Amino acid sequence: MTVSPENQKLRPEMETDTEGAREEALRRAISGGARPAKPNGIATSFTFGWRALLKIKYIPEQLIDATIFPIMFLLMFTYLFGGALAGSTGDYLQFLLPGILVQTIVTLTMYTGVELNNDITKGIFDRFRSLPIWHPSVLVGALMVDGVRYTMASAIMIILGLILGFRPEGGILGMVAAVLLLQVFAFSLSWIWTTLGMIMRSEKSLMGVSMMVMFPLTFISNVFVDPETMPSWLQGFVEINPISLVVTAVRGLMHGTVTFAEISWVLVAAVILTAVFAPLTMYLYRNKN
């Protein structure tokens, strides 16, 4: 079939009109609907918290340090060293359990930094940072799930302690208050490891540094023994050790002997740690290359 010269001239114009109509229809379809509201910080924090919970669901081995290790430490130290250090395992248990509880929880604080470091090395960090969300929600969600870890570990240790003969004179309210105060301090301590998680180049290096810091802090403290049995030069360090301050307050709350000053020192330490390392973490988060 022969096409006339006039129709050949009209065909490009018709195709152009058709493409223009399609583009206009597509533009109306896109712009006509209401845009979804930008998620707020609370919603995105819970979303990232749920992400962390799902990781625990599919890799339950992550809870070994929050379940098995506390039981092992409590049983070993109570029955191996209780008689030698306190004369009886029952008396030593009253002194030891609050200290072991603090040691367990502060050791768990490193995992927020470890998970953040994993996201960075795997490239997920860059995807999160490109999203139109409140950027701290990535860290806040992870810290919320860490609170679940802390609560689980605390419950296991206290229940086991009660079975073994631990009798806190502060009662239930004292134990709940002790766990809450410990969680506040653990939240502030976690910001140190998130800062290091942004700086360290691997998960193993971060864990190595965290253990190098936490090991002497927890053992050169009043977790296991009364500082009065130590040399005078060592007592000075133990008294200003933040771990010792937390142990003293937790022990006092559980046994009903706590003072306002002991609680205040823990809260002051928590505020200082958060004020220093939380902004530093967010600065590194925004400027990470």
Q: What is the pLDDT of residues 220-264, one digit of tens each?
A: 888 888 888 888 888 888 888 899 999 999 999 999 899 999 999
Any idea how long the chain is?
289
Q: How big is the CA angle at 169 (ends 227 and 64), to the nearest 5 degrees?
A: 70
In terms of pLDDT, which residue wins out, 86 or 250? 250
In terms of pLDDT, which residue wins out, 19 or 119? 119
Residue 148 CB coordination number (10 Å):
15
The pLDDT confidence band at residue 174, using thresholds 50, 70 and 90, is very high
The pLDDT confidence band at residue 173, using thresholds 50, 70 and 90, is very high
pLDDT in tens, 39-73: 777 888 888 888 878 877 777 777 777 778 888 88
Alpha helices in the chain (DSSP H): 5-32, 41-58, 64-86, 89-108, 110-122, 124-130, 137-164, 171-199, 203-219, 232-240, 242-255, 260-287
Residue 32 CB coordination number (10 Å):
7
The pLDDT confidence band at residue 3, using thresholds 50, 70 and 90, is very low
